Chain A
Amino acid sequence: DTEVTQTPKHLVMGMTNKKSLKCEQHMGHRAMYWYKQKAKKPPELMFVYSYEKLSINESVPSRFSPECPNSSLLNLHLHALQPEDSALYLCASSPVGSGSNTDTQYFGPGTRLTVL
């Protein structure tokens, strides 16, 4: 089973709202990722958690705040977003962390976010 689940599937929010995206995997994977994908574009890496610690932050604005409460769960807290932040937000997980030669990322279905 290589399933990563994400909720909600769709989210519409105003620029003053606070919302959270949730990602879950029960495959025992130790690395989890947030990507942003604009229409007809490739996914762009935002954050990486390895063994529940933030390993990479790709210069993402502070209005996006990741959280990894445990090894199965990854959240993305959103606050004061801009309309240009509207995109598909993808979560991924991989079995092992940095230094592995054969790590493979598995993606969830994404949350389609619209910021009004």
Chain B
Amino acid sequence: AQSVSQHNHHVILSEAASLELGCNYSYGGTVNLFWYVQYPGQHLQLLLKYFSGDPLVKGIKGFEAEFIKSKFSFNLRKPSVQWSDTAEYFCAVNARSGYALNFGKGTSLLVTP
């Protein structure tokens, strides 16, 4: 069965700490990979995406993610978080042959001043 798992459900970091959020997927075939962010009271925004090519992708607000095909992983990273990064982060995957965007359960990030 197709699935997306995010390892950390709640993460608390101090400002300037480095961030890495894990995402693993279980899919047959070629996939597209996404990270979305949902700030408190706001809608889902696309942080970054991977379709093909360079497995290290850069997104908005200093975020980046690395696709490791052998590990079926697409981890999100940021070298130095800010208080404004407090949000819910969702990893999402869809198979290239279809529509359905399957989300992981999300990781709630709290950045303390």
Name A residues whose Cβ lies closer than 8 Å to a Cβ of B: 2, 31, 33, 40-43, 45, 48, 50, 55-56, 58, 90, 92, 94, 97-110
Q: A99–B44 contact, CB under 8 A?
A: no
Q: How far apart are the CA atoms of A111 and B96 in the complex, in Å?
A: 29
Q: From A2, which residue of chain B is reached at the shortest CB distance?
A: B46
Task: Please judge, given known A-B contacts A101-B51, A103-B32, whether A42 and B106 are in contact too, CB under 8 Å.
Answer: yes
Q: From A108, which residue of chain B is reached at the shortest CB distance?
A: B43
Q: How far apart are the CA atoms of A31 and B101 in the complex, in Å?
A: 13
**B: number of interface residues (CB 8 Å):** 26
Q: B103–A98 contact, CB under 8 A?
A: no
Shortest distance from the beta carbon of A24 to any chain B beta carbon, whole Å: 14
Task: Please judge, given known A-B contacts A42-B90, A103-B32, whether A98 and B99 are in contact too, CB under 8 Å.
Answer: yes
Q: A106–B32 contact, CB under 8 A?
A: no
Task: Please judge, given known A-B contacts A90-B44, A104-B46, A110-B43, whether A55 and B106 are in contact too, CB under 8 Å.
Answer: no
Q: Point out the residues of chain A lying under 8 angstroms from B98, CB to CB.
A: 98
Could you pull out 28 A-B pairs where Cβ atoms are within 8 angstroms? Answer: A31-B99, A33-B99, A40-B106, A41-B105, A42-B103, A42-B104, A43-B44, A43-B103, A45-B101, A48-B99, A50-B99, A58-B100, A90-B44, A94-B99, A97-B99, A99-B97, A100-B96, A101-B52, A102-B51, A103-B32, A103-B94, A104-B32, A106-B46, A107-B36, A107-B44, A107-B45, A108-B43, A109-B43
Shortest distance from the beta carbon of B22 to any chain A beta carbon, whole Å: 15
Asked whether B34 is an interface residue with its Cβ less than 8 Å from the other chain, the reply is: yes
Task: Please judge, given known A-B contacts A41-B105, A103-B32, whether A109 and B42 are in contact too, CB under 8 Å.
Answer: yes
Q: From A104, which residue of chain B is reached at the shortest CB distance?
A: B49
Asked whether B82 is an interface residue with its Cβ less than 8 Å from the other chain, the reply is: no
